[in-house]
Structure 1
Amino acid sequence: MNKSELIDAMAASAGITKAAAKLALESFLDNVGGTLKKGGRVSLVGFGSWSVSKRAAREGRNPQTGKTIKIAAKNVVKFKAGAELDGAVNKK
């Protein structure tokens, strides 16, 4: 499912216009991104939580040449699925 398909599904299930669903989705994404950018955590009980973790600088190898390269430190976003989402995905 891509963004436009998600907007269509949200509009249909909530009984709102596609424009309102698009605005709601963009607001959600902006708020999650803004919170994570500040180093915060976003948690939706049952669905999951997003957090930011620091990845240390390290050395790697260029697979084509085998030469050692330096990989810079950076922040990475982590998502941990909640129990309800995990159960829905793994339901048999």
Structure 2
Amino acid sequence: MARKMAKKAKKTTAKAAPAVRKPPKVTATAGKTVTASALMQSVADHMGMKKVQAKDFVDGYLDVVKAYVMKGAKVKIGDVGMIMIRHRKARMGRNPQTGEPVKIKASKKLAFRQSAVMKAQVMGGR
């Protein structure tokens, strides 16, 4: 009986190292609010794309984050932090003017918890 020929192994090509990106150029100053337009421009410049593409990307990303949060998931955003919904139980409160007890309904609250990495960067190692 004749033996089957072994298949030749495919040649593997070395993967290129991921491109190292420069830190983003930020023009904001302390105490000033960054507009959505300025944010989109910074993303576009940093990623090397057009501002319209950056807007589409960021809008799509935020839509997905909102959808997950609305379903009750905790969404971790890199080394920045986590966005989630916190459920607050019904409880008894007090009217500050009359001192009369008042029942406070259960509610939901949008919450953000900063990551330890971001906190360390902001606090400067304190």
Between Structure 1 and Structure 2, the one with more helix by share is 1
Answer whether TM exceeds 0.5 for this pair: yes
Considering Cα pairs closer than 8 Å and 6+ residues apart, tell me whether 1 or 2 has the greater RCO: 1
TM-score normalised to the size of structure 2? Answer: 0.59
**Residues 1:73 and 2:110 aligned together:** no
The letter for the 2-side match of 1:34 is A
Deviation at 1:52, TM superposition (A): 1.3
Residue 76 of structure 1 aligns to a residue whose secondary structure is: strand
The letter for the 2-side match of 1:18 is K
Structure 2 residue ranges without an equivalent (≥5): 1-33
Q: From the CA coordinates, give the structure whose radius of gyration is larger.
A: 2
TM-score normalised to the size of structure 1? Answer: 0.77
Aligned residue for 2:46? Answer: 13
**Identity over aligned residues, as a percent?**
27
**Residues 1:39 and 2:72 aligned together:** yes
Deviation at 1:60, TM superposition (A): 5.9
Structure 1 residue ranges without an equivalent (≥5): none
Counterpart CA distance in 2 for 1:17 and 1:79 is 30
Residue 53 of structure 1 aligns to a residue whose secondary structure is: strand
Deviation at 1:27, TM superposition (A): 0.9
The letter for the 2-side match of 1:28 is Y
